[in-house]
């Protein structure tokens, strides 16, 4: 699976990719093709590279070289079509030959800048042979034309054409220009054939420049959001996911615009299901989204938005959340959710190591059956030893699995009527171990503080069991 597939499944991943300082569709194409890695050695190597890039961006002494390198990225043209033509031994036109010459100069400049900054992880091949081939007069410039020096016959014919008056001898003029076009084609065919031998180096450099830009974009993103290098858990160690002070960048940015701050949350999961309870508006959904984001970022070789993170590698990440009616035409949200869970359970039964994050499953059906489905889901996850966090609004279900609870609304700090826009200030999103099993009753208290009709609230209290 690649990055593009996960962008569709993990909310927040598109926001992260959009925040990356990439120069255009050429590099974004490479980003979207990045594989979801389950190889710890590969990821640790990638984190070393990313850490080096972060260090370079933070080094004031490297500032000039870094600025030149970042500017160079914006000058790289998308020549993939030209490279494909070379691979197929097609004849390039004059513009395409210029693109190859220009690209060879950019690669030489990039190699020098990488050497200056000490970033040696993307080895760029020397394309001097291509440059010399396209610069027969040794001009040293990036401009290109079909030079006279490529062909004596071409040079001679061009001189004859220049001395011929179209008005007085149009027949000769046309004949000479036809000859010029044929000779130029011969030159382009010879140049294209020689350049086709260099296709592997040209393609590898084109790929390397895209990866190079992505490394520095990842590093810039990490520095912007104070991201940290995640520790990956070895296979021979207990499967424990531990994240301290995690932050959801998209939500944090929105809160910042409103003058609020995101409260970092810490969580630890083992290879077993865990229930997450808490009143509405207590941030359960945000916890699930952020955990999914951090797991995905880790396995796509990003640093993560947290103070500290230890991440076991999985084969897949599932975030079952929200109304999926649009995804499955003609099916209710409950039916769509059940199909999602069925696909996940089929993979579990095959022993696929995964992280499953489900937001209040079966909440759209009747409470009795919904509770039964949730209990069966927990039992199924326990049987298959799947690391999972499942939020629920159901009360005490008599389950013996581990339970976490969001501390939630701290209404005792409110004086008078509560401004709805200030509610976030009175929420505590910390997760605590829950031994009781019942969901906190906060809705009516919040309604009262918001100024909802008191008689209505008294009526509702009569129905509380």
Q: How far apart are CA 109 and CA 125, in angstroms?
A: 12
Mapped onto helix, strand or coil, the DSSP state of residue 309 is strand
DSSP-derived secondary structure for 42-82: HHHHHHHHHHHHHHHHH-GGGHHHHHHHHHHHHH----HHH
Helices (H) and strands (E) in the chain, counts: 17, 10
pLDDT averaged over every residue in the chain: 89
Q: How far apart are CA 154 and CA 160, in angstroms?
A: 10
Q: How far apart are CA 449 and CA 446, in angstroms?
A: 5
CB 12 within 8 A of CB 248: yes
Tell me whether residue 333 is exposed, middle or buried, using C-beta atoms within 10 angstroms of its C-beta: 0 to 12, 13 to 18, 19 or more: middle
- Average the pLDDT over each of 87-96, 117-126, 413-422 and give the range with the smallest value: 413-422
DSSP-derived secondary structure for 326-348: TTSTT--HHHHHHHHHHHHHHHH
Cβ neighbours of residue 220 closer than 8 Å, sequence gap 6 or more = 20, 21, 57
What domains are defined for the chain? 3-216 (1.10.1420), 228-462 (3.40.50.300)
Quick one: pLDDT at residue 407?
82
Residue 413 pLDDT > 80: no
- Average the pLDDT over each of 7-11, 173-177, 443-447 and give the range with the smallest value: 443-447
Quick one: pLDDT at residue 330?
53
- For helices 199-224 and 170-196, what crossing angle results, to 10°? 70
Mean pLDDT value of segment 360-366? 80
Tell me whether residue 307 is exposed, middle or buried, using C-beta atoms within 10 angstroms of its C-beta: 0 to 12, 13 to 18, 19 or more: middle
pTM: predicted TM-score of the whole model, two decimal places: 0.89
Mapped onto helix, strand or coil, the DSSP state of residue 424 is helix
Of 69, 42, 430, 400, nearest in space to 217 by CA? 69
Q: How far apart are CA 384 and CA 381, in angstroms?
A: 5
Residue 368 pLDDT > 90: no
- Average the pLDDT over each of 129-133, 169-173, 301-305, 412-416 and give the range with the smallest value: 412-416
Whose structure tokens read 């009781």?
Answer: 436
pLDDT band at 351 (very low <50, low <70, confident <90, very high): confident
Whose structure tokens read 């499942």?
Answer: 390
Quick one: pLDDT at residue 421?
57
Q: Which two tokens stand for residue 444?
A: 């009516």
| Count of all residues that appear for the chain in the document | 465
CA distances from 401 to 135, 382, 433 (A): 72, 8, 11
- Average the pLDDT over each of 42-51, 172-181, 316-325, 378-387 and give the range with the smallest value: 316-325
Quick one: pLDDT at residue 426?
65
Mean pLDDT value of segment 109-135? 95
């Amino acid at each position: 699976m690649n990055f593009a597939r996960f962008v569709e499944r993990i909310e927040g991943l598109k926001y992260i990719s959009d925040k990356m300082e990439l120069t255009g569709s050429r590099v974004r194409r490479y980003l979207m093709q990045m594989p979801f890695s389950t190889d710890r050695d590969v990821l640790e190597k990638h984190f070393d590279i990313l850490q080096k890039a972060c260090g370079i961006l933070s080094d004031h002494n490297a500032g000039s070289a870094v600025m030149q390198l970042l500017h160079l990225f914006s000058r790289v043209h998308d020549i993939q079509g030209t490279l494909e033509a070379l691979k197929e031994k097609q004849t390039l036109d004059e513009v395409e030959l210029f693109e190859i010459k220009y690209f060879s100069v950019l690669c030489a400049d990039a190699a020098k800048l990488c050497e200056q900054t000490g970033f040696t992880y993307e080895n760029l091949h020397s394309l001097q042979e291509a440059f010399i081939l396209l610069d027969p007069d040794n001009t040293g410039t990036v401009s290109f034309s079909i030079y006279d020096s490529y062909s004596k016959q071409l040079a001679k014919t061009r001189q004859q054409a220049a001395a011929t008056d179209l008005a007085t001898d149009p027949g000769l003029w046309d004949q000479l220009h036809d000859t010029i076009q044929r000779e130029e084609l011969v030159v382009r065919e010879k140049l294209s054939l020689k350049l086709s031998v260099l296709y592997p180096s040209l393609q590898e450099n084109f790929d390397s420049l895209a990866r190079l830009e992505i490394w520095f974009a990842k590093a810039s993103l990490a520095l912007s959001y104070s991201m940290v290098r995640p520790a990956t858990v070895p296979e021979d160690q207990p499967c424990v996911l531990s994240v301290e002070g995690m932050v959801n960048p998209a939500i944090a940015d929105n809160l910042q615009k409103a003058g609020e701050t995101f409260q970092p949350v810490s969580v630890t999961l083992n290879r077993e299901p865990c229930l997450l309870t808490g009143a509405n508006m207590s941030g359960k959904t945000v916890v699930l989204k952020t955990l999914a984001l951090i797991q995905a970022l880790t396995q796509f070789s990003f640093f993560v938005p947290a103070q500290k993170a230890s991440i076991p590698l999985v084969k897949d990440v599932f975030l079952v959340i929200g109304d999926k009616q649009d995804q499955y035409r003609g099916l209710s949200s409950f039916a769509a959710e059940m199909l999602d869970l069925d696909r996940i359970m089929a993979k579990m039964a095959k022993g696929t190591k995964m992280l499953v994050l489900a937001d209040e499953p079966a909440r759209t059906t009747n409470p009795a059956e919904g509770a039964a489905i949730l209990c069966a889901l927990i039992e199924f996850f326990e049987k298959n030893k799947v690391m999972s966090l499942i939020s629920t609004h159901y009360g005490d279900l008599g389950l013996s699995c581990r339970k976490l609870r969001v501390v939630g609304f701290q209404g005792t700090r409110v004086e008078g009527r509560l401004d709805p826009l200030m509610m976030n200030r009175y929420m505590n999103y910390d997760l605590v171990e829950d031994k009781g099993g019942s969901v906190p009753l906060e809705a009516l208290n919040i309604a009262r503080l918001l100024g909802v009709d008191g008689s209505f609230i008294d009526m509702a209290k009569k129905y509380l069991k």
